[in-house]
Structure 1
Amino acid sequence: MPEIAEIARIVHFLRAHLVGKTVKNATAIEDANVFGKVGTTGPEVAKALKGRKVVSAGNQGKYFWIVLDKPPHLVMHFGMTGWVHIKGEQTAYTNYYKKMKPEEVNAWPPKFWKFHLQTEQPEVSVAFTDPRRFGRVRLVDCPGESIRKHSPLVENGPDPVVDSEIFTVDFLKKKMRARHVPIKALLLDQTTISGIGNWVGDEVLFQAKMHPEQYCDDFSDEQIETLHKAIRYVCQLAVDKLGDSDEFPKDWMFHVRWGKGSKDAVSHLPSGEKLAFLTVGGRTSCYAPAIQKKTGKVVSGVKEEPLESGEDDPKPKKAAKSKAKAAKADVKEQESEEESEEEKPRKRKKVVEEDEKPAKKGKTEAVKPKARANGSAAKAKPPVKAKSEPKAEPKVDDGRRRSGRFKKSDFFD
């Protein structure tokens, strides 16, 4: 999922190719998820863009925006698989385009587009795409210079790079002392710090040598200072490299943390320390137990899952089942990470997105033929009634799921 570095990359391209130009044409499809869930529509977005000059582009954590010469302005969020494409430019990475069919690479507008625009001369074409439809595109009606003082940006915490003067050691210390949650959960909370997702959070804790499930209010002042340095270091360097992982330091955990459930998984760091996963409340953390040791209280009942090497050749059936579970869990985990403070009150109950339904639909379709078969059998031979057979108690779903992890290639989506 795009995090702080990928958002900085997109804003870089928008500033280089779109800012300063006037939008000649804009088209948007109607999408009840991408537009509707944040109170707008595709036609309204197209209307807001057409004829307007793009004055600037900015970012805060996982959000980014374009300021027009007249309100409303566009504020966007990629969700899990959103991206912005510019015709003739490779805004994503080589891996992204390798997964596309030849005819899709040069197609315009690109596949899964939600809106696209064309500027006046010199002509530039830009499109927002999102296969999974967890991304959001909204209109914010306010002066351009006040955009961060309005929802949804105002509900989110400071960006460690953009807001370095706000994100200080004292700020972090106050936030950690005021909560009693695992440190990994605190880092992922966008209302506390903007832009940190799962891979950045794991990297930060690895660099700080902190156990991911230790309570955030159980670290010393010295450890908090170390954590602050690690956050600034990882985020700043990733942004400076525009999220290009080939440019990340070779000793970063990033390069080896993506293999859970994969036959080709790397089970240890280049230095030899083994990797493991922890799952608490449906959230997953990759860490190095020999380096990230417990120094205080941790969540009880945590189960450590060693990352097995591909040399162990896991059984195909179990591997397939593991991947299926990981895919479902990732959707829910990543969707949870994306919730801003304004969205949380409305999500008391888990809402199943249209994109998640195919998995359940497959299960339903498998049951129907069985029901028809039973019906036919009933006509041929009536079933024998049980005299005193007790009814089976329904299984209780405790709501906990194991989280999986995307492979490295998904990071570029």
Structure 2
Amino acid sequence: MPELPEVETVRRTLLELVRHKTIQQVTIHWPKMIKEPDDAQVFMRQIVGQTIHDVRRRGKFLLFELTDFVLVSHLRMEGRYGLYKSDQDVDKHTHVIFHFDDYTELRYADVRKFGTMHLFQNGTEETMLPLLQLGVEPFSEQFTVELLQTAYEQSKRTIKTALLDQKTVVGLGNIYVDEALFRAAIQPERLASSITAEEMTVLHRAIIDTLQEAVDAGGSSIKSYVNGQGEMGMFQQSLHVYGRKDQPCHHCGTPIVKTVVGGRGTHFCPLCQH
């Protein structure tokens, strides 16, 4: 699933491609992707004639700011957007097409059909699900060491599971939790409540640095991820533990271990992390 760096990269590339374009028509091949309103026909009627003024990100969600509405889109596992000319062939996995008045089309393709779209009146998107319960952004001033300490001081969950919970801090998924915990030298199966104040300070910085470096590299192309212009990310070349089972740790040479924590595949160095 695309995490914050991948979604941020998609946001930036899409902004260049679709800003100021006006939606003339919408084609929906898989109505189940439209979650709000619950009638795809209403969705189409509401969005026709709307101009895209901005593309924002909230956690792992893309927010298309339209004239009167905000389109909240989640890519899930393998969703992707691309801008095409209207006469180009349409891929069989394309499920939603936004036709613009300049004979281009923003197409949403999703092999697994897990992606979702919600359409809200401007200013109401944060008051309802799926954005309502999201935590703080890791690049914001609200993301502090104290926030993590307060959230986790009585937690009975592992630190890996706690960091994946989007209600505390958003944007972190399997890749970047594993990488941040490695940088902080913290074993992912430790209880979140066992993390000391000193360790939490290091972890806080590791989260920010890991995500920023990944954004700078355009994200990680582990499976099918590409940005809005069809380009791969490059951060996978800098991964220390994720996807490196049995390979030597870059720091100590010990083979990287893969286990399961909270139902998620988890990578760590048994010597460097404790």
TM-score (norm 1): 0.59
Does residue 124 (structure 1) correspond to residue 104 (structure 2)? The answer is yes
- Correspondence 1:32-111 to 2 at 5 A: 32=32, 34-36=33-35, 40-71=38-69, 73-87=70-84, 108-111=89-92
2:163 pairs with 1:176: no
- Maintained 8 Å contact 1:157/1:193: yes
What residue is the counterpart of 1:223 in the other structure? 199
Greater Rg by CA: 1
User: Are 1:176 and 1:216, in contact at CA under 8 Å, matched by a contact in 2?
Assistant: yes
Q: Is the 8 A contact 1:87 1:108 kept in 2?
A: no
Superposed CA deviations along residues 141-163 of structure 1, whole A, max 9, x for unmatched, are 3x24x5334432121111213xx
Could you tell me how far 1:249 is from its partner in structure 2?
8.5
> How do 1:255-266 and structure 2 match up within 5 A?
257-258=242-243, 266=246
CA contact (8 A) 1:110 1:127 kept: no
Q: Measure the CA separation in 2 of the matches of 1:251 and 1:13.
A: 22
* RMSD of equivalent CA atoms: 2.2
| Aligned-partner Cα distance in 2 for 1:186–1:281 | 10
If asked which structure has higher relative contact order (CA below 8 Å, sep 6+), I would say 2
Structure 1 residue matching 2:38: 3-state secondary structure: coil
Give the partner amino acid of 1:35.
I
* Whole-angstrom distance in 1 between the partners of 2:126 and 2:12: 19
Structure 1 distance, partners of 2:255, 2:244, is 13
Deviation at residue 46 of structure 1 after TM alignment: 2.4
Q: Could you tell me how far apart the structure 2 residues matched to 1:24 and 1:139 are?
A: 17
- Residue type of the alignment partner of 1:286: H
Which of the pair is proportionally richer in helix? 1
Structure 2 unaligned residues grouped into runs of 5+: 222-232
CA distance in 2, matches of 1:55, 1:221: 43
Quote the sequence identity (%).
27
Q: Cα offset for 1:127?
A: 0.9
| Partner SS, residue 286 of structure 1 | strand
Deviation at 1:242, TM superposition (A): 2.3
Query: Structure 2 CA distance, aligned partners of 1:172 and 1:84?
Result: 34
Taking the TM superposition and a 5 Å limit, the aligned residue runs for 1:332-351 are: none
| Higher share of residues assigned strand | 2
Alpha-carbon deviation of 1:251?
5.3
Aligned pairs (5 A) from 1:195-344: 195-243=171-219, 247-248=234-235, 252-253=239-240, 257-258=242-243, 266-271=246-251, 272-293=253-274
| Equivalent residue number for residue 157 of structure 1 | 135
| Matched letter for residue 225 of structure 1 | T
Q: Deviation at 1:85? A: 1.4
Give the conservation status (yes or no) of the 8 Å contact 1:17–1:124: no
Contact 1:112 1:131 in 2 (8 A): yes
Indicate if the aligned counterparts of 2:220 and 2:236 stay in contact, CA closer than 8 A.
no
- 1:281: how far off? 4.1
Output one character per residue of 1:12-68: Cα deviation in whole Å (capped at 9) or x when no partner.
122111111211222112433x225x5524333322221111121111111111111
2: CA distance between counterparts of 1:250 and 1:87? 30
Distance in 2 between the 1:53 and 1:83 partners? 21
Distance 1:42 1:112 in 2: 18
What's the TM-score once normalised by structure 2's chain length?
A: 0.87
CA 1:281 to 1:234, structure 2 compared with 1: closer, same or farther past 3 Å?
closer
Q: Which runs of 5+ in 1 are unaligned?
A: 89-105, 261-265, 294-413
* Aligned AA (2:48): K
